[in-house]
Amino acid sequence: MKEQILDRFLRYVKVDTQSEFGVDKIPSTDKQFILANQIVEELKAIGLSEVEIDEHCYIMATLPANTDKKIPTVGFVAHIDTSPDFTATGCAPIVWENYEGGDLVLNEEENIVLRTEEFPEMVQFKGQTMITTNGMTLLGADDKAGVTEIVSAMEYLINHPEIKHGKIRICFTPDEEVGRGADLFDVEKFGAEWAYTMDGSLPGEIEYENFNAAYAAIDIQGKIVHPGSAKDKMINSMYIAADIIQTLKTEEVPEKTEGYEGFYHLLSVKGDVDKTELRYIIRDHDKEKFEAKKATVQNLVEQLNHTHNDCISLTLTDQYYNMAEKVRPVMHIVELAREAISNLGMTPITRPIRGGTDGSRLSFMGLPCPNIFAGGLNFHSRYEYVALESIVSATETIVEIAKLMESREW
C-alpha cells in the first residue's frame, strides 16, 4: 500500500490546481477540472459507486455498506485546489528516502534550504520518507495529501471485503483555499450524518475549533495630476494606504500570534498614485473579538473617509465561522476519531486550527465535520513538506474509523 500511496500522491501534486481570489465563479480556475476528471476515472476504476462530478467541480462517490448492520453513513472530504499564496505551476517534488534528520537542500542553485533551525518539526520524521518541493513551488500536500488518503482508504476497503463497514460517502471540493469550497456543497445529496475533512498537519491531530474568518477588500481612489502643479490638488492613494497598513500593524498579526490569538493579515498591496487596493483577512476564534476586529477596520475606514472626502471603499465578507459551536453537541464523532488514532499507536492531538477548512462551513450547513490530520507542514510555501508515513497513517485512520463504526451499536 505504501508504494501505491506514494505514486498516487506524486501524480496528484504534479497537476496544477491553484485557485484564485476574487473570481465570481466556481471553480475559480478551470485547471482544477484537470485533476478532478482524473480522480473521477480513478474512483470508477477502483470500484466505487455513484461516482459523479458536477459543473462546479465537486466530486462525490459512494462506498456501499458490506454489512446488514445498521450503521450511520459517514463522510470524508478533502479539497483539490492549492493556495493562491504561492505558485504551484511546475511542481517537481523531491522524495528523500530514509531522511537523516538534518537540513535539506531543495535548490542548490538558488540556495533554498529547508533548515531544521527554522522548522524544528522536521526532526521527528528522521528515518522516514520525506517529500518536499524543489524550492520553486509549493508542494500541494494541502490538500492533495487528504485526497490521496481518502482514495487510498476506499481502495483498501474495496480490496479487503473481510473488513465490514457501513456506507461511506466521499467528496472532493474546489476553491477551499479561497474560502468557497463549501459554497455549492449539496449536504442533502451527500447524505452523511457527519463527516471528517482530511486537512490537518501533524499525525494524531483531530480538531474541531477553527477561526472565525472575514475577507476585507479596501479600495482607495486618489487623484493624480502633474506633480509640477499638484499643490492642494493631488491625493496620493498610496499614502492613505500606508496609514491603514500602519494602523493595523499591531501585535495582532500572524507572525506575532499563536493558539487562540486572532490577527489582521495583509495579503496584498497593489497601487499607484491614482488608486491603491489592499486585501486583508481577519481571524479570531472568539466570536466577540472577531466582530470587534471587523468593527476596527470599518471604523478606521470611516475616520479616514471623513478626512479624505470619502475616497475609500470597504467590502467586508464573512468567510466561515468556528465549527466548535456545531460540533460540541455531537462530541462522540470527535471521540470516535480519537479512538481510531489511539488504536493505531498515535497520541491524539486536539488544538485550535489557526485557519479554516471546508468542515467549518459544512458544520454550519448541517453536516458536523471535524478535521483529521493529513500530514503536511509549512503549507502555502516553497518549504512545504510531508512524510509518506504520515499519509499512510491518515489512510489507516480512515479505515480504522470504518471498523470502529461497524463494531458499535447505533
- The grid coordinates of residue 80 equal 483539490
257-265: long-range pairs with CB below 8 Å, 24+: 258/354, 259/351, 259/352, 259/354, 260/285, 260/286, 260/352, 262/211, 262/286, 262/289, 262/290, 262/293, 264/293, 264/297
User: Is 176 in the active site?
Assistant: yes
Coil, strand or helix at 371: strand
Strand runs (DSSP E) across 153-262, as ranges?
Answer: 168-173, 194-200, 206-207, 212-221
Angstrom distance (rounded) from CA 174 to CA 28: 8
Task: Please state whether beta strands 371-373 and 206-207 pair in parallel, antiparallel, or not at all (unpaired).
Answer: antiparallel
Q: 270, 267, 271, 279: which is closest to 317 by C-alpha? A: 279
> Of 81, 175, 205, 207, which residue is the catalytic one?
81
> Of 143, 155, 175, 176, which residue is the catalytic one?
176
The binding site for Zn(2+) consists of 79, 142, 177, 199, 380
Sign of CA dihedral 201, 204, 206, 207: negative
Task: Please state whether beta strands 371-373 and 194-200 pair in parallel, antiparallel, or not at all (unpaired).
Answer: parallel
User: Is 81 in the active site?
Assistant: yes
Distances, alpha carbon 14 to alpha carbons 17, 110, 141, in Å? 9, 21, 11
The binding site consists of 79, 142, 177, 199, 380
**Grid cell 501534486 in the structure block, residue:** 13
Angstrom distance (rounded) from CA 254 to CA 235: 31
Catalytic amino acids? Answer: 81, 176
